[in-house]
């Protein structure tokens, strides 16, 4: 029996390894989460909560690393994006440098949209929502309370 036909017993029935693998998040699922994290990253930085901004930049990086595992064809672009784009955003967060953050963030958004075009989806142009998220304290004091 091929390994991917191995059956796993769950509380509700049996699933093969192939069925389980095919239920892992799709590129679109991961990208939807990436978009949310990236949105919160910008507004946390603008609010002055730099630790929260760095948290969301790292969360974006972690989701992209998952994409590289699940879809190896993106691994090279993900590695370049991490070293060229996410690293610059994280460095700006570490330095609490608003100007450097805005420059690095805008470059990262432009690069993401170039990658969407490269991979056949030029109509996916991510733009930062103007509204800040309302579920988190984005102010500098947010980390002190
Ligand atoms: C912070 C950077 C990025 C943001 C904010 C972003 C955002 C998004 C969003 C919102 C979508 C639409 C998801 C949906 O609701 O279905 C999407 C799709 C997509 N993105 Fe990104 N993206 C980023 C970086 C990247 C990178 C680095 C790559 C490639 C290495 C990439 C490749 C793709 C692809 C291929 C799709 C189409 C998904 C599908 O096949 O369903 N993106 N992206």
From residue 103, give the alpha-carbon distance in Å to each of 12, 82, 100: 50, 16, 5
Q: Rounded CA gap, 4 and 28, in Å?
A: 24
From the CB of 117, is ligand 1 less than 6 Å away? Answer: no
Q: Which CATH class is domain 27-120?
A: mainly alpha
Strands (E), 35-114: none
| CA torsion through residues 11, 16, 19, 22, sign | positive
Which of the listed residues 34, 73, 108 should we mutate to test ligand 1's pocket, taking the one with most ligand atoms within 8 A of CB?
Answer: 34
Question: Among the atoms of ligand 1, which is closest to the Cα of residue 78?
Answer: 30
Residue 125 CB neighbours (<10 A): 12
From residue 72, give the alpha-carbon distance in Å to each of 21, 67, 78, 91, 120: 15, 8, 10, 27, 16
- How remote is the CA of residue 116 from the centroid of ligand 1, in Å? 6
Its pTM surpasses 0.75: yes
pLDDT string in tens for the chain (145-residue length) = 567 889 999 999 999 999 999 999 999 999 999 999 999 999 999 999 999 999 999 999 999 999 999 999 999 999 999 999 999 999 999 999 999 999 999 999 999 999 999 999 999 999 999 999 999 999 996 654 4
- How remote is the CA of residue 9 from the centroid of ligand 1, in Å? 34
- How remote is the CA of residue 31 from the centroid of ligand 1, in Å? 4
């Amino acid at each position: 029996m091929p390994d991917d036909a191995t059956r796993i017993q769950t509380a509700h029935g049996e699933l093969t390894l192939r069925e389980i693998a095919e239920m892992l998040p799709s590129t679109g699922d991961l990208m939807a989460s990436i978009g949310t994290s990236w949105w919160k990253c910008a507004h946390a930085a603008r609010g002055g909560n730099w630790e929260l901004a760095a948290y969301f930049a790292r969360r974006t990086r972690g989701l992209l690393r998952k994409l590289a595992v699940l879809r190896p064809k993106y691994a090279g672009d993900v590695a370049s994006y991490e070293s060229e784009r996410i690293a610059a955003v994280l460095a700006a967060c570490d330095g609490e440098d608003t100007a450097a953050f805005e420059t690095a963030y805008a470059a990262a958004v432009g690069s993401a949209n170039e990658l969407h075009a490269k991979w056949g989806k030029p109509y996916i142009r991510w733009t930062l929502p103007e509204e800040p998220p309302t579920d988190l304290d984005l102010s500098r004091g947010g980390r002190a309370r």
